[in-house]
Structures are given as structure tokens and as C-alpha cells.
Amino acid sequence: MPDAMTVAVGMSGGVDSTMAAWMLKQQGHDLVGLTMQLSDDSLPLSAERRSGCYGPGEVHDIAAAKAAAERIGIPHVTVPLAEEYRRCVLDYFREEYRAGRTPNPCVVCNREMKFGLLIERARRQGVRFDFFATGHYARVEFDEGRGLFRLLRGVDPFKDQSYFLARLTQDHLRQVLFPLGEWTKEALIPLAREVGLGEIADREESQDFLEGADYTPLFEPSDSQPGPIRDSTGRVLGQHRGIIHYTIGQRKGLGIASTERLYVKELQVDTNTIVLGRRDEVMMDSCRVEDVSWISGVSPVNGTPCLVRLRYRHCGANATLHREPGGAWCAEFAEPQFAVAPGQLAVFYDGDEVLGDGWIGRKV
């Protein structure tokens, strides 16, 4: 990046985005803080202040972001995007659960909102900037030999957020900055206190996309139709509360009595049935991956080895990739994997580099 450029920083009021802005200011860049305004009064969400990106507590988060920008001496702009968030993220979230899939709203929000509409609308509001930065723990490097940008894991293995950024494109990568990519959270917190931002370092981190633990207000009463819970032989074990309340691999909260540990193996939307199985019955040797994109800029050949992360906290599974007819891919695991949930994102890695990603589909 050239010296003394203008950078817009996505700010939440938390320590990560604040310190990303502070670091860029120390490097001599002109900055402006941007915060998305996502919530409105259209949903009766609880104001219990459980940290989350969407909910009535957002007013406090926007105030905190503005105060953080003032503390480090940069202007701050709030960008209203509530209608777009409902359409891009909340509607997607509902439809995935209604279809018996497990949604990943943070991945969709990053691509469509934070690295998409936020940048577009801020510029439309007259905010001028050359680069967009966030407090994500990830790295971007330019490969001169290939003429492409590489998305890499952050150096902190416990905070690496490259998984959530895998749906970005080369167009995104050429204009983004991740100042925290070379940092660990353990080292960042003392630095924040040292430079006088200790109260921000002590703020509760956002843990989910929704404030509050109850997703029910996002759905209609008709979405919670009871139905049978069966085992893999077809025997009825009980009744569920509605398919939207369950996900693959779930064990707790099933409301059944069994001498075995049973897990959700399958969500059959057509018959409104939940199928349970033993842990070994919920293991999979492979998974189908749909709507695949290659952030590395290169589609691999059949049989390419890689590491596949099947959810954010998944440590990854060694696998080989094979193209299927119709554009989908199959990831064949070296060892069976537990609770591979349709609707979640599969992200492919070669060492620290993100090769690509796709949505996990149902096995055919």
C-alpha cells in the first residue's frame, strides 16, 4: 500500500477494530471510521444485552464506535443498512433453517454487507477512501509470480478469521487491509492498555450475529410445526418442536429418553421428521460442496489434497477434492468427520492459504 493513503475502517466499538484503526493512524494514513446501522424495530427482540451484531443494543454499539473514533482522533460515519440486512442476512437465515440446513450468517454478512454494501453506500454518502480495513485476524499478500492476491490465516491460531472471509473475491482483496493479521489477541490487549484504550479492551466481544439467545422472533409461528423424532430404523422416539430448532450433530435438548447417546443425523423437511443416530452413524467419509468459489483465483485439478474446515471452530480435515458433474465438488476425507451440516461453509486450505470455499450440500 502506498504511503499516506485514505483508509475507511469498519468499526464496531470493540478493541479489534479500534486497534486496527489506531495502528493505521500510527502509520500516517488518513482515516475515517464506518459503522453499519443494521437494526430497526421490526422484530420484538429481547434487550438482554447479550453481545451480538443485530438487536436493540446496537444503539450502544454505534455510540461506542463513535466514541472510539473520537478517542483516536478520526471522523466517524454511520451507514444505515437495516433494510439491506433484513434482505441479505435475516431472510437468508430464515430460509436456510426452513429448508433443514444450518445457516452461516456471518459469512454472508461479510461478503454482502461489510465488504459490499457498506463500502458502496459509504462512497455514495460522499465518504472518499482508497482502502477498506477491518479488525479481522487474517492476512492478505500479493503473489507477484501469479499476479494474484492470497488470503492467509491470521498468525493467532485461536483468533484466525480467514474462514469467515473465504467468500470474498480478488476484487475485494485488492482493496482491503487487515492490520491485526500479524498479531495475537494476547499481545494486542496489553498494547491497547498501554496506549490508553484499556476500557475498550475490557468491552465484551460480540459473540453472535443476533443479540439474545432466542432466534424465535425471526420466524413465524407456522415455522414451528411439531413432528416425529425417529431413530435410523424408523422407530418413533418422541416429538420435536419444529425443524428450525435443530441442527445436524445436536445432542442436547432433544426431549427424548434413550439409553444411548443419540445425535441429530438428518432433517427431513418433506416429512417434517428428525432422524437421530449414534455418533458413528453421524460420521461422514465425504461431503458435497456446492456454489464453489476460488478466492485463490485458480480452480484446482481433480485429486488436489487440501485441509477442509467444515465450520469455524473445526480444526480441519485432510481431504482430496474432486469435481462432480454440474459444477459441484466432493471433498473426500482421509478420516470420517462428525456432523457435516448442509448449509455450513466448507473452506479449503493449502497450508495457511485459503484456496476456495463452497456451501455443504446434502449427499446425493
pLDDT in tens, 24-36: 999 999 999 999 9
DSSP, res 205 = P
What's residue 76's pLDDT? 98
What's residue 318's pLDDT? 98
* Model confidence at 99: pLDDT above 80: yes
CB atoms < 10 A from the CB of 328, how many?
A: 17
DSSP, res 13 = S
What's residue 214's pLDDT? 76
* The listed CATH number (3.40.50.620, 2.60.120.560, 1.20.140.10, 3.40.50.720) that belongs to domain 6-201: 3.40.50.620
Residue pair 113/92 in contact by the 8 Å Cβ criterion: no
Alpha-carbon span 273 to 232, nearest angstrom? 11
Asked if 6-201 and 220-277 have one fold, the answer is no
User: How are strands ordered across the β-sheet holding 76-80?
Assistant: 76-80, 30-37, 6-10, 131-133, 176-177
* Chain center to CA of 30: 29
Identify how many contiguous H helices and E strands the chain contains and give both numbers.
Answer: 9, 17
Residues 6+ apart with CB under 8 A from 301: none
Check the CA dihedral 263-268-269-271 and report its sign.
negative
* Model confidence at 283: pLDDT above 80: yes
pLDDT, mean of residues 2-26:
92
Specify the residue for cell string 474446515.
Answer: 309
Residue pair 29/55 in contact by the 8 Å Cβ criterion: no
What's residue 2's pLDDT? 60
* pLDDT, tens digit (0-9, with 9 covering 90-100), for 322-359: 999 888 999 999 999 999 999 999 999 999 999 999 99
Alpha-carbon span 310 to 288, nearest angstrom? 12
Task: Count the alpha carbons within 13 Å of 150 in the hemisphere toward its beta carbon.
Answer: 15
* pLDDT, tens digit (0-9, with 9 covering 90-100), for 116-151: 999 999 999 999 999 999 999 999 999 999 999 999
* pLDDT, tens digit (0-9, with 9 covering 90-100), for 34-64: 999 998 877 766 655 556 777 777 888 899 9
Alpha-carbon span 166 to 213, nearest angstrom? 26
- Grid cell, residue 136, equals 479481522
Nearest Cα neighbor of 287 from 314, 262, 309, 272 is 309
Tell me the fold of 283-361.
Answer: Elongation Factor Tu (Ef-tu); domain 3 (2.40.30)
Alpha-carbon span 154 to 157, nearest angstrom? 7
Residues 6+ apart with CB under 8 A from 31: 6, 7, 8, 9, 21, 24, 25, 74, 75
pLDDT, mean of residues 216-223:
90
Phi-psi region of 126 (alpha: psi -120 to 50; beta: other; left: phi over 0): left
What is the CATH superfamily name and number for domain 220-277? Adenine nucleotide alpha hydrolases-like domains (2.30.30.280)
Residue pair 85/138 in contact by the 8 Å Cβ criterion: no
* Model confidence at 211: pLDDT above 80: no
The residues spanned by each domain of the chain are 6-201, 220-277, 283-361
* Model confidence at 66: pLDDT above 70: yes
